[in-house]
Structure 1
Amino acid sequence: MAFRAFFALPADKFSTANGQHTNAIHGFTSMLINLIKEQKPTHICVAFDVSDDTTHRKAEYSEYKGGRNETPREMSGQIDLIDKVMGAWGIKTIKLPGYEADDILATLAAMGEKAGFEVLLVSGDRDAFQLITDNVFVLYPRKGVSDIPRMDAAAIQEKYFVTPAQYSDLAALVGETADNLPGVPGVGPKTAAKWINLYGGLEGVLEHLDAIGGKVGDALRENVEDVKRNRRLNRLHTDLELPLTLDDLAEPRPDEAALEALFDELEFKTIRTRLFALYGSEEVESAERETIAAPDVVIPAGAAELGAFLAAGAGKTSAVAVDLAPGRIGEDAAALAIVRDDAAVYIDLATQDAAAENVLADWLRDESSSKVMHGYKAALKALSSRGLGLEGVVDDTSISGYLIQPDRRTYELAELAQHHLNVSVSAETSKAGQLELAFDGDDAAAAGALVHVAAVVQALSRHFASELTERKAGDLLTTLELPVSRVLADMETAGIAIDLPRMDEQIADLAKVIDNAQELAFAAIGHEVNLGSPKQLQTVLFDELELPKTKKIKSGYTTDAASLKNLLEKTGHEFLVQLMAHRESSKLRQMLESLKKSVTEDGRIHTTYAQNVAATGRISSNNPNLQNIPIRSEEGRRVRGIFVVSDGYECLLSADYSQIEMRIMAHLSGDAGLIQAYQDGEDLHRFVGSNIFHVPTEEVTSAMRSKVKAMSYGLAYGLTSFGLSKQLEISVDEARTLMKDYFDRFGAVRDYLRGVVDQARVDGYTATIEGRRRYLPDLTSTDRQLRENAERIALNSPIQGSAADIIKRAMLGVHAELAAQGLKSRMLLQVHDELVLEVAAGERVAVEKLVTEQMGSAADLSVPLDVQIGVGPSWYDAGH
């Protein structure tokens, strides 16, 4: 729960003057205050994990919970401080060597149920579901630490098709990614639940192994020992000997002086008021949480009444808030709420007659009627599916919140409202472009819920207005981000066509490569081994083959891709050759199989773009992510061959900026040599190599050029001489000399890189060419690692962020010009610095010209923006 709090709240906004981050402490404490207020428990206990290495599970299975990301540095010290807060609060805490926090909860649950208690377990670990009974419930967080619904036996049965007591049986078969417990290949929750229900549980399944047919039956028999191990490891202990009794946990009371001192140290203000309100002061209690007073809601009877409401708001300077509720099927809109200062309406779109719908449609399309929303892009698509347009949107709080705090983990309305307004918006009553609202025929309840959400959006938008002005981000919102949302909505709706036969052919080809690589790997060592098991690979590589040891990790020596690549280059061992081939092909096959699941009935993939994920301003792609298709290997590039031109169109066109980040570096640094090289159309890396190595341009070798390229890009990301030496596999002295020669020749680059960090330390933020800011409080941290990480971010954010702004400006220009020229061609994809368009018959020349012009003029730099154009029947062909 502490980690969920950490990721729910932005680290940059929760830190003390001496650099101690406090977001996990604040979020955890706030969550516990809310839970105590809502649930009114009589007994409370907080259980902590101990180190994985000391648990019996780790002792039995060394890879248990392996593969997890390292704990973020910003989390350092926060768990211990949460423990201190609990101590001052009077809440008992328990940790037991050899066991996990959920084992402690399981034992407490058994104790509580035996004593006749109703027990509520708060855990983000699904293993806790096995503990649910008629008297034991799990409060399982759905989002962050603000949405924590109660899970009972019926909820588990509905979601997983098994009883709570059988959940661990299900998890044993399916596996648990979070714990690094692999399940039976090809067996998902539904298949596992079917077996469990058919045979009465896991023991029954294992007794009927031979009765289960097909490939999944074979897979089960091959992995039966893993299943048994999973079951042993996921079973929670209910009989531990705890150092406390239930009576010790009763009615905790805070030590006010101790809490005051601790909260002063943590620089917490409002949270102490909320906590103390739990224990007495009514005056404080009323101030604990703000409320949003939504106006009375009217459900208009027809066109005249709706028209009168809309007309009454005409000409007012303040924007109205609009929120949509989703339909039951697809992404259409089912209902709509409109809230202004003094009144609100709720409109069920399914029940409107033609006259009322026309009145609403005219208002939605009216640019002069200012509107604020949360989830503008989703609203555009939802209304479009009903034939309704949407104009006049001046704020999307999911984007304005991002521009204010680009490092937040989430921009869901509930999280923003709680953080900025101290207002609670539950998932059950909030859609806001992301959260669901259930309709059960109660118009009044549905109307009240949707209007409340719209009122919160309106309050949030007003709260953000001054911060946008302070950060000079208003123009970015209105002239860049909101227009880009409209372009992205069109691109998502269009999708891109997929050649399914070619996709299946690539999957089959990869399966052959995987099988062949596995056979050759086995032949190289004389026996079979699980190529996906780090532990078994460690034994083969370092014990049997006695290859040089890689980096030491908790479970031995690392077998990650970078280390094995380095080992292969050193030794050239055939087993490593085949292992790497097996890994690469397996990843590609998995990617293709995942992409195949994303193909919709129209034969296309419709990715979802997000503008508020990458702190630099880059647009991200997900469901599926089309930005992580590898392009370094030919096999990876082949995947692009499945993305093809649609029937009725001539070709796909790929337009890619060439070396845009280095061009931005040249512009920002003002280095005359780099600028001249770009203006003369030189190969930059060859030009730089000529100057550093003191040879004519034509004598710069490929190796020289590669070193220069790695260094040029690395410098923009804070690369040190040590880092460069590792990357280029040269000595640190050689790397230091290389960098010195570079900076001697291109002094303005050195001065810029030094100056940008110094200026950011003064300002507290960096800014892109367009003025997009990224605040970096860690620049003054006393923690060296945090400070150095902030310095690296300060170096690359202006460059990466400027590149992001430029491609967005280019998208707006291309989109507008296609419409202005009446062309049928359309933009389909945006991937890093590349745009992919589908060109209509006869429009190729015009589209090439306008794309080149619009991308080339997207920013006024001191160097030209070079655009590489390619066309072809597939994305692969267009990129060559």
Structure 2
Amino acid sequence: MVLDGHSMAFRAFYALPAENFATSTGQHTNAVHGFTSMLINLIKDQKPTHVAVAFDVSDDTTFRKKEYDDYKGGRNATPEEFHGQIDLIDQVMQAWGIKTLRMPGFEADDILATLAARGEEAGWEVLLVSGDRDSFQLITDNVFVLYPKKGVSDIPRMDAEAVREKYFVGPDQYSDLAALVGESADNLPGVPGVGPKTAAKWINLYGGLPGILENLDAIKGKVGDSLRAHLDDVKRNRHLNQLLKDLDLGVGLDELAAPRPDQDAVEELFDALEFKTLRTRLFALYGEDTAAIQHEGIELPLFEVGATAESLNAFLANDDAAAPAALAVATVPGGIGQEATAVVILRGEAARYLELTELDADTEKVLAGWLTDAGRTKVIHEYKEAFKALHARGLLLEGVVDDTSISGYLIQPDRRNYELAELIQHHLKITLEAAPAAPVGQLDLGLDLDGNAAQLRAEALVRHAAAVRALSEHLAPMLAERQADKLLSTLELPVARVLADMEIAGIAVSLEKMQEQLDDLAKQVDAAEKAAYAAIGHEVNLGSPKQLQIVLFEELGLPKTKKIKSGYTTDAASLKNLLDKTGHEFLVQLMAHREASKLRQMVETLYKSVGEDGRIHTTYAQNVAATGRISSNNPNLQNIPVRSEEGRRVRDLFVVSDGFDCLLAADYSQIEMRIMAHLSEDAGLIQAYQEGEDLHRYVGSHIFNVAPQDVTSAMRSKVKAMSYGLAYGLTSFGLSKQLEISVDEARTLMKDYFDRFGAVRDYLRGVVEQARQDGYTATIEGRRRYLPDLTSTDRHLREIAERVALNSPIQGSAADIIKRAMLGVAKSLADEGLKSRLLLQVHDELVLEVAPGEREQVERLVTREMGHAAELSVPLDVQLGEGKSWHDAGH
């Protein structure tokens, strides 16, 4: 089976919406995903013994282009979203073990033709997968074309009979027909007035193109005159559409045999592409062969079930202080999050499995003492979750020196996930079976309704602990090599402990205010809906892109937006642009409807998240954002809008709880720009911050050559957008779109900025070049992000990596600083014996709940700890606000 790579990649690209397939770095992946999915299905269905993928090279280098300059001319420009995806498909094929072929001067079709001929000579059946009709000429009794009928999911087999049925000629004469009719895709014009039926009639009457040329005078009428007038075109077409079957590919058929995926390479690449289900489908394709790649499961250590206080004390007393114990915790859903039901402690070659409900008071006291002892070091997977689950049982976990989910993240911050089974598979090639689920309530009651299931759960948890230890030992030297071991011990693990406390505490909400907001938003949605109907004179489904396209572009005749597969886009950015251009009342109401609907959905989600205690307990993750930023989910409290008044009302739902005085919100002012000033060492920016200037006004005065007080709000907005944009690789084109100014004006603005602040320009250039040399970027704390695409030959992939290289040190340093601040604030609250507590971390903001009589002391310590979280060449400015709600505490 041989695939025409470019042809099928384009088919995949248009079959899947680009906007639904993109990585967090901005690389579109719809063609890669669709191509890979298609190939999995083809191999599953067709079971080929040999596989290859042929790619085109530049059109300008082919012999056809040299002979006919207009060959393939007039094609639409390649969509921006397609750029970089051929290179990624090539990488997927390499990881899969599938040979990819290119021939300078020739096309993929010629490679297909050559392999078809060689396969047939060897007595094989050959399947050609292509969306190019030129491949029909290659069909024989042993060569077939899989020609896509719809997207890349419906790809029926074309044989000689199918060609004859559709075109009334056999495959051997398809080139003659194409020469007469022409091929618009290749910009090969045919004979005017001659369609497939007329061409087929002539071919069948005269035995093919040579016979037609010998009987030109016998062909009468206008079509005959047209044929005679365009003979040169026909002969040229026939010459150019003939595929070559004798290329020297430099590869033998045996080299295309039995491709098998390299599991490490596939895992790493699919993590970067953020593919989830494809890897499972790919590995499942090879069944037992993949199991062989995975090797055997984790070996089961010797273990005992249960313990007395004396036996557990003896087991733990033999502790080797230099070797941490591995700890695993089994959980079931509890009141808030998960609740621990059993633990495994693995030390040396022995383990102990303990059902928490079956421990007597003395044994639990021994266990609690060991868990709490920070000197008895432990390694675990997902420390924060284990801490919370044990806390729910009244047990405190201290002394954790490694969390393998965080270690795996520090080593590979772009991985898709950090589940233990996946990390074990990736790093150690070991399969870790999931533990049988414990029936909720069964363990709580101490019942053993199924002894075999209980034994299997015990074995699985022991294996889990053994896997954690093996993984921790494997990752340790990798952490050291990346200089991430200090980051783990002094930052990430302590932060996990603070986050656990914050998640347990949660934040109070006003259910009464929530219901009021839901009622108000329902009225807004209804009012906007009715006003939208009134603006066009009839009802329409405002949530249906198809119906909106009809209203906007057919009924109202508004300017067309960006063309997409389903018509013209109705996404928020396009409609905002359309509204700015036209000001149409229907668009005003449509946008109002969307905004109110979105907020209502957000408030409904928050409402459903309120626990029995009347508080919302979000879950924080340290290993989701590759930059090091902490993320929030279930519910996500970081996506609550703060720029719109309605969005700010959502923050008003979060209130101070009984027994506390107020909420205190503290955030950094312009932290990313301060980091930029520090890293670039630009004297002007440093001076502005040290003197307490309004940075954007200061920069504006130097760029526009006016006094600071004469910098208008429009000038300041332009400078602010550009200053932040530069840290994210913003181009003059991007700046022009953002500010709605001409590209020339944007280019001048950037030039004036860099003329005045040259150190920023030098830093931005230097950070990319340094990353290209090192292979990674690093934050102030030394957090690394590896970027192999910085040296990619594909310009699009390289430019994405360059943008990531620009912003990772700044975003990552900001993330490290807020984490240091959290640690400092939490420690000071404890050291000073205060009852006030940290509740939320949202981007660069901390929210605390202040106990009565502690406000001034908390304000001082928060300002001190946040202000000294990093030693920069510019001060870290901390802004405080307080109030009875999160909204009131904002500033």
Q: TM-score, normalised by structure 1?
A: 0.71
Q: How many Å separate the matches in 1 of 2:584 and 2:267?
A: 61
Of 356, 368, 371, which residue of structure 1 is paired with 2:378? 371
Give 1:530-541 correspondences, 5 Å limit. 530-541=541-552
Kept in 2, the 8 Å contact 1:607–1:621? The answer is yes
Instruction: Give yes or no for the alignment of 1:697 onto 2:695.
Output: no
| Deviation at residue 677 of structure 1 after TM alignment | 0.2
Of 519, 528, 543, which residue of structure 1 is paired with 2:530? 519
Pick closer, same or farther for the CA change 1:93–1:304 going to 2, 3 Å.
farther
- 1:53 aligned residue: none
| Deviation at residue 80 of structure 1 after TM alignment | 7.0
| Deviation at residue 76 of structure 1 after TM alignment | 3.7
- 1:400 aligned residue: 407
- 2:61 aligned residue: none
Give 1:347-746 correspondences, 5 Å limit. 347-428=354-435, 440-442=450-452, 443-746=454-757
| Deviation at residue 538 of structure 1 after TM alignment | 1.3
Deviates more, 1:24-33 or 1:673-682: 24-33
| Deviation at residue 537 of structure 1 after TM alignment | 1.2
Q: How many Å separate the matches in 2 of 1:406 and 1:428?
A: 27
Kept in 1, the 8 Å contact 2:268–2:415? The answer is no
Whose Rg is larger?
2
Give 1:213-292 correspondences, 5 Å limit. 257-259=255-257, 289-292=295-298
| Deviation at residue 98 of structure 1 after TM alignment | 4.6
Pick closer, same or farther for the CA change 1:22–1:576 going to 2, 3 Å.
closer
Q: How many Å separate the matches in 1 of 2:881 and 2:463?
A: 50
Of 327, 330, 340, which residue of structure 2 is paired with 1:325? 330
Kept in 1, the 8 Å contact 2:435–2:457? The answer is no
Instruction: Give yes or no for the alignment of 1:340 onto 2:347.
Output: yes
Q: Secondary structure at the match of 2:666?
A: strand
Q: Secondary structure at the match of 2:625?
A: coil
| Deviation at residue 266 of structure 1 after TM alignment | 12
Pick closer, same or farther for the CA change 1:518–1:32 going to 2, 3 Å.
closer
Of 293, 299, 306, which residue of structure 1 is paired with 2:299? 293
Q: Secondary structure at the match of 1:456?
A: helix
| Deviation at residue 520 of structure 1 after TM alignment | 1.4
Give 1:5-154 correspondences, 5 Å limit. 73=85, 75-77=88-90, 85=98, 97-98=148-149
Pick closer, same or farther for the CA change 1:793–1:440 going to 2, 3 Å.
farther
Pick closer, same or farther for the CA change 1:264–1:285 going to 2, 3 Å.
closer
| Deviation at residue 293 of structure 1 after TM alignment | 2.5
Identity across the alignment (%): 65
- 1:211 aligned residue: none
Instruction: Give yes or no for the alignment of 1:307 onto 2:313.
Output: yes
Q: How many Å separate the matches in 2 of 1:576 and 1:269?
A: 45
Q: How many Å separate the matches in 1 of 2:333 and 2:308?
A: 24
Question: Structure 1, residues 299-325: CA drift from partner, whole Å, max 9, x if none?
Answer: 24311111111111243x121110000
Pick closer, same or farther for the CA change 1:79–1:390 going to 2, 3 Å.
closer
| Deviation at residue 91 of structure 1 after TM alignment | 13
Pick closer, same or farther for the CA change 1:833–1:90 going to 2, 3 Å.
farther
Kept in 1, the 8 Å contact 2:300–2:463? The answer is yes
Q: TM-score, normalised by structure 2?
A: 0.70
How many residue pairs were aligned?
682
Q: How many Å separate the matches in 2 of 1:814 and 1:82?
A: 47
Unaligned runs of 5+ in 1: 4-9, 48-68, 106-253
Of 754, 762, 768, which residue of structure 1 is paired with 2:779? 768
| Deviation at residue 872 of structure 1 after TM alignment | 0.4
Q: What is the CA RMSD across the aligned residues, in angstroms?
A: 4.1
Q: Secondary structure at the match of 1:842?
A: coil
Q: Amino acid of the residue matched to residue 352 of structure 1? A: L
Question: Structure 1, residues 245-292: CA drift from partner, whole Å, max 9, x if none?
Answer: xxxxxxxxx997424888799989999xx99x99999xx997861543
Q: How many Å separate the matches in 2 of 1:354 and 1:419?
A: 41
Give 1:806-821 correspondences, 5 Å limit. 806-821=817-832
Kept in 1, the 8 Å contact 2:267–2:426? The answer is no
| Deviation at residue 426 of structure 1 after TM alignment | 2.5
| Deviation at residue 718 of structure 1 after TM alignment | 0.2
| Deviation at residue 97 of structure 1 after TM alignment | 3.9
Pick closer, same or farther for the CA change 1:100–1:403 going to 2, 3 Å.
same
Question: Structure 1, residues 359-401: CA drift from partner, whole Å, max 9, x if none?
Answer: 1111111112111000100111111111111111000000000
Deviates more, 1:611-620 or 1:317-326: 317-326
| Deviation at residue 840 of structure 1 after TM alignment | 0.7
- 2:859 aligned residue: 848
- 2:111 aligned residue: none
Q: How many Å separate the matches in 2 of 1:548 and 1:712?
A: 32
Pick closer, same or farther for the CA change 1:92–1:824 going to 2, 3 Å.
farther
Q: How many Å separate the matches in 1 of 2:449 and 2:399?
A: 28
Pick closer, same or farther for the CA change 1:370–1:576 going to 2, 3 Å.
same
Kept in 1, the 8 Å contact 2:264–2:426? The answer is no
- 2:814 aligned residue: 803
Pick closer, same or farther for the CA change 1:758–1:104 going to 2, 3 Å.
closer
Q: Amino acid of the residue matched to residue 594 of structure 2? A: R
Question: Structure 1, residues 766-817: CA drift from partner, whole Å, max 9, x if none?
Answer: 0000000000000001111110000000000000000000000000000010
Q: Amino acid of the residue matched to residue 514 of structure 1? A: V
| Deviation at residue 71 of structure 1 after TM alignment | 11
- 2:878 aligned residue: 867
Kept in 1, the 8 Å contact 2:306–2:355? The answer is no
Q: How many Å separate the matches in 2 of 1:640 and 1:444?
A: 48
Q: How many Å separate the matches in 2 of 1:420 and 1:430?
A: 26
Kept in 2, the 8 Å contact 1:45–1:93? The answer is no
- 1:136 aligned residue: none
Q: Secondary structure at the match of 1:673?
A: helix
Pick closer, same or farther for the CA change 1:593–1:280 going to 2, 3 Å.
closer
Q: Secondary structure at the match of 2:724?
A: helix
Q: How many Å separate the matches in 1 of 2:567 and 2:99?
A: 36
Q: Secondary structure at the match of 1:649?
A: coil
